[in-house]
Structure 1
Amino acid sequence: MTDSQPKLEPAQLGAYFALMEVAGLLRHGVEAQLRDAGDLSYVQFQLLARLGLDSPTGSHRMTDLADGVVYSRSGLTYQASLLEQAGLVERGPAPDDERSVMVTITDAGRERLAQVLPGHVEVLREMFLKPLSGADVTALAALLRPVRDHMRSSPPRSAKPRPRKGTASSR
């Protein structure tokens, strides 16, 4: 690396590596629990949780779900299709815009969510929260909130124009 290349301070690099390692280890533990307890992928759980816990109506637009779980539209469509085949969600046109697709959690989806939640919470407590005090958790949330908000301040992925095939990526 030459002196003209941008560098991170050791503390910045250490924070980045620690965050990525924690996220990777936690995701691995969560994914194993979800697979074992409910035959769900992490993304499928996120969809069910957003629909069943985060939405008063149990429904969301597909594009809003894709932006919320930070997943591609095509990938989310595939995951929603698997959940629909399993009877855990239903999809249909939005009442105010037939071009938009709404996803709604079913009673079976709520049951599956209730089945995996206790173990999910236990994994979070054991792997992530156990070494932290209540003050640490509050401080961590306060530190991560502005980072998340900064990252989400640009248009959501679904609102960004899609690159056209055959165009230069440097545009």
Structure 2
Amino acid sequence: MTGQRPQLDPAQLRAYFALMEVAGLLRHGVEQQLREAGDLSYVQFHLLAQLGIDAPTGSRRMTDLADGVVYSRSGLTYQAGLLEKAGLVERGPSPDDERSVMVTITPAGRDRLARVLPGHVEVLRALFLAPLTPTDVDALAALLTPVRDHMRATTQPSTARRRRNT
């Protein structure tokens, strides 16, 4: 291989490694709390939160959930199956498209979400938000939002892959 290897400058490397370490430490703390408080994985919590907090009807198409939690359709199907077995969600055909699977949070799922949410917020405040001022939080959101939007625009969500492959 001839020529120079692509490199990041020291500030870019520091930012990258700091972000990855923060994300890893935060995920570990959050997952520990979710397991202890509700016997949930992070993905399962995210699914319940999308259904119980973000979805006005408590239902979403499986493909939309996969895109929202940035998880493979097969992995999400497995996680939704575990939640269904535990009585926290129900799955069924979409009324608009029988090929689509709808996932709906159950009353037991809402109860589990309500049980873990206070501790989840506490972990976020203690691990992530405590050292930041409100101005810092606004600045961090302003920095990360365009990065997230860029990454979502340049990666293929599960619906785009499915449409392209059919």
Same fold by TM (over 0.5)? yes
Q: TM-score, normalised by structure 1?
A: 0.92
Deviation readout 1:78-104 (Å, 9 max, x if unpaired): 000000000000000000100000000
Amino acid at match of 2:151: M
Deviation readout 1:122-164 (Å, 9 max, x if unpaired): 00000000000000000000000000000111341331259x9
Is residue 56 of structure 1 aligned with residue 59 of structure 2? no
Runs of 4+ with deviation above 2 angstroms: none
Deviation readout 1:20-55 (Å, 9 max, x if unpaired): 000000000000000000000000000000000001
User: What SS does structure 2 have at the residue aligned with 1:124?
Assistant: helix
Structure 1 CA distance for aligned equivalents of residues 10 and 82 of structure 2: 44
Structure 1 CA distance for aligned equivalents of residues 10 and 132 of structure 2: 24
Partner of 1:17: 17
Contact 1:73/1:158 (CA < 8 Å) preserved in 2? no
Amino acid at match of 2:158: R
Structure 1 CA distance for aligned equivalents of residues 69 and 128 of structure 2: 20
Partner of 1:70: 70
User: What SS does structure 1 have at the residue aligned with 2:32?
Assistant: helix
Partner of 2:149: 149
Q: Structure 2 vs 1, CA of residues 99 and 161 (structure 1 numbering), >3 Å: closer, same or farther?
A: closer
Q: Structure 2 vs 1, CA of residues 123 and 152 (structure 1 numbering), >3 Å: closer, same or farther?
A: same
Amino acid at match of 1:119: G
Partner of 2:160: 159
Q: Which runs of 5 or more residues in structure 2 are unaligned? A: none
User: What SS does structure 2 have at the residue aligned with 1:98?
Assistant: coil
Q: Structure 2 vs 1, CA of residues 161 and 60 (structure 1 numbering), >3 Å: closer, same or farther?
A: closer
Partner of 1:5: 5
Amino acid at match of 1:157: S
Q: Which runs of 5 or more residues in structure 1 are unaligned? A: 165-171
